[in-house]
Structure 1
Amino acid sequence: MLSPRNHASLYLILLLGAILFVCGCVNEQPGESVPATTVPVTGTIESLSFYTTEMPPYNYEENGSLKGISVELLELATEEMGTNVSREELQLLSWSEGYQAVLDQKNSMIFTIARLPSRETSFKWAGPIMTAHTVIFARQGSGIEIDDPGDLQNYRIGVETDDAAIPQLLDIGVDESQIVQVLNATLLVSMLRDGDIDLWAYGEVSGRYFAEQVTGDASGIEVVYSFPYVPLYYAFSLDVPDATVQSFQQALDAVKTAREPGYSEFERILYRYLGVGCYRNVTSDAEVMALANLTAEAIEQDAQGTFRKINEGEAPYLDPENPARYVFVYDTDLVLVANADNPASVGNNFQGLVDVTGTPFRDEIRSGALQNGTGWVEYVFLDPEESGLYNKMTFYRLTQGSDGQQYIVCSGKYKDCGS
């Protein structure tokens, strides 16, 4: 809780910021990177106790050192706040120990944790880090088939104590008597292998990692049921001041925002730990081309009106049932004039910016459009829904708007796993 004196100080800071904004003293240019020092230090993040657990690839120990996506993201976010919380300050515990510590202990944080409705009021939250999903594993060749939750009856299902899988299983009607709780994932792998449990509920990526560690063969397990994706967060004990959580959230958002040379530090971390994935696509090449062509024809009839509809996210420029299907438009200087998915980026110039692999794909779009009129480019792009890096294909078309200006209309799709 802030004291009256701190409230007064915070009021003065906010008032000064408002005056600077109105006066135009703070004038961030489109596409300009944000220096780390711009994130205000309003909390005391360095005074917290930090707890984490073995949950690869987000946080885990390797050769005596903590590493992982969430570990590095925490380091960068606290650096953005002007302090320096290093991985040496993190305490590695079992999941149950860490979870209970933040419930019981003041001035603490745990990560990485699924943000579930059953946990909502137990913590203060900052994130998301990524999305992930719990799956139910069976032994390869067990013959167990789960077509709907009712098929889970009479199976012994292993879970880690206090894990997100427990409320998820209960929510789909699994009886509590079927749930076998143990303290760590490696024991669960052994129990599944030896037949002491029939099924194992855990995060898919982390589960395969532990299966490999214990048995030497991650292919010895198979997914027989999948839960919906849930967001992963950093969770603070309830006594941590809101200002601390908000300051950390601002810093986290800054680390996840693209800067020079065109991608974010978050993307760099994902690329190192996960590489580039493929997609189980629901969009065909023909659908992508049809959307770009339809948009180009609309721009030829009414350029400014079409840009407005695109930036407002109207259908068909943004598919309400498949948000990954949308259009975006550049002028021939690569200034973005419309984007149905991210209208906040309109007005930025994207010349020379690259993806995380170093591909200047927007420059390739422009040169291809000016030389050939239409074509395709491939590059790596972050999908915020899946929170991963994927190969993407974009179709482009050069068109002349009703205002006499040339524009490059684009629509893309993530590349199929089989292509």
Structure 2
Amino acid sequence: MSSTLRYTYLFLSIVLTGALIIASGCISERGVESADTDVAMELASLTYYTEQLPPYNYQENGTIQGISVDLLEATTEKMGNKISREEIHLVPWTEGYQEVLTRNNTVLFSMARTSEREDLFKWAGPAYTNRKVLFARSDRGISIENPEDLNGYRIGAITDDIAIQYLLDIGVNQSQIVTESNTDTLITALDKDEIDLWAYPEASGRYFAEQTNGDYNSYIVVYELHSQDTYYAFSKDIPDSIIQSFQQALDTVRDQKDEQGVSDYERIVYQNLGVSCAPQTFTDEAVVALVNTTATAIEENATDTFRRINAGEAPYKDHENPALYTFVYDVNVTMVAHADNIRLVGTNFKGKTDVTGKSFRDEIVTGALENDTGWVEYVYTNPVHANLYYKTTYYRLASGSDGNSYIVCSGNFKSCFI
């Protein structure tokens, strides 16, 4: 065979291989597009139900709104078929529950995910954390550290509310509990010192406080009775692929930051719920110890330490307390490692802020370069509970084994109890 003919065959072979690769890619892309289309069509075929529970999901001035409604729109838009609030049915809780329990292609939100309900539905979430708390007027100076501290206080609650059972379970005497049929009466009683404490869901309580006296933060939380994450509940017939796609899109809404450095989830929560308090499960000393451990490891082997942090390995993410984790910036405010959200790695956060507009990352890096160590307070999400929380982060300047300087950080979510 002549060399010319061999080159001709070789050329044709290369062309044919390239064509097959391109064709394969096109088929693959069409397959993905088809899958995305199937998910979008499936979303449109579902019937969505919710109840009147402000500020989570409720109707006001003829419009259904709230955090779970906004999240549904943002999540389904990521999936390629935005479900608008006009497509949502606002019904009494019992009616919505029975619909999603007995009918196909139905969704109810937001629902507490309990062991009794676990196998009755398919789940995606959480959307938010619903905390039953005790409110007090800030000028009363009431401090509650344990149930025994509740002795002698008059506690207001809605008639037949589950909060009454929570109070009885922790030893509160029935004679201390004052029941009323509506929140306005309880708020008035609190303002007039006819009761000392008010038991209610935190965000809903703040919503009704604002409606009654114009101040969302009229009262302070002095004790948490119970905390429960809430989810989107899907009827059992809906394919797992739809649930998984919904969960992935919801995770993106929660974790992916925009140009300002804030996620869609943070904006939605801040607009609807404001900032919450978090019960502390570890100490500030544990935070400092983790930063010191991480800094030492980076000084010994920066590359391997960053790999382990980004993999979420212990001790860089505490598996017993997942809210205790490490993250690291370089001196240009670029995230080089993050034990809880690898999406952030490689992002430059210079000038970017939290949802309140605070450039906390710049403060962390500037503080480390000027003072070596310190603390910065800001607002952030918690990997253990949904919602937004006040966070204080400890930072330390470290010299990496690669010759570069890094700012090692870890934080604690603040309790707002006095």
TM-score by length of 1: 0.69
Per the alignment, residue 412 of structure 1 pairs with 411
Are residues 1:373 and 2:382 paired? no
1: distance between equivalents of 2:181 and 2:384?
32
Q: Please give the secondary structure, in 2, of the residue aligned with 1:117.
A: coil
Per the alignment, residue 97 of structure 1 pairs with 95
Are residues 1:121 and 2:96 paired? no
CA contact (8 A) 2:221 2:417 kept: no
Q: Please give the secondary structure, in 2, of the residue aligned with 1:118.
A: coil
Per the alignment, residue 66 of structure 2 pairs with 68
The AA in structure 2 aligned to 1:118 is: E
2: distance between equivalents of 1:288 and 1:136?
28
The AA in structure 2 aligned to 1:388 is: N
The structure 2 residue matched to 1:46, chosen from 44, 53, 58, is 44
1: distance between equivalents of 2:284 and 2:56?
34
CA contact (8 A) 1:71 1:87 kept: yes
The structure 2 residue matched to 1:206, chosen from 182, 204, 207, is 204
The AA in structure 2 aligned to 1:80 is: K
Per the alignment, residue 321 of structure 2 pairs with 322
The AA in structure 1 aligned to 2:109 is: F
Residue 260 (structure 1) shift: 1.7
Gaps in structure 2 of 5+ consecutive residues: 1-20, 136-145, 149-156, 171-178, 188-197
Residue 57 (structure 1) shift: 1.6
- CA deviation digits over 1:279-331, x for unaligned, max 9? 44455555433432333233223333433444454554334443322222223
Residue 73 (structure 1) shift: 1.0
CA RMSD, aligned part only?
4.8
1: distance between equivalents of 2:369 and 2:224?
46
Task: Specify whether residues 125 and 415 from structure 1 end up closer, same or farther in structure 2 by C-alpha distance, changes over 3 A only.
Answer: closer
CA contact (8 A) 1:40 1:81 kept: no
CA contact (8 A) 1:136 1:224 kept: yes
Per the alignment, residue 363 of structure 1 pairs with 362
Aligned length, in residue pairs: 365
CA contact (8 A) 2:130 2:228 kept: yes
Q: Which has the larger radius of gyration?
A: 2
The 5 Å alignment of 1:216-365 reads 228-261=226-259, 262-281=261-280, 285-342=284-341, 344-345=342-343, 347-352=345-350, 353-365=352-364
Residue 232 (structure 1) shift: 0.9
Percent of aligned positions that are identical = 50
After alignment, is 290-299 or 67-76 more displaced?
290-299
Residue 108 (structure 1) shift: 1.9
1: distance between equivalents of 2:208 and 2:180?
6
Task: Specify whether residues 38 and 77 from structure 1 end up closer, same or farther in structure 2 by C-alpha distance, changes over 3 A only.
Answer: farther
CA contact (8 A) 2:376 2:392 kept: yes
Task: Specify whether residues 300 and 135 from structure 1 end up closer, same or farther in structure 2 by C-alpha distance, changes over 3 A only.
Answer: closer
Per the alignment, residue 385 of structure 1 pairs with 384
Task: Specify whether residues 318 and 241 from structure 1 end up closer, same or farther in structure 2 by C-alpha distance, changes over 3 A only.
Answer: closer
Gaps in structure 1 of 5+ consecutive residues: 1-15, 26-36, 138-144, 148-155, 174-184, 194-199
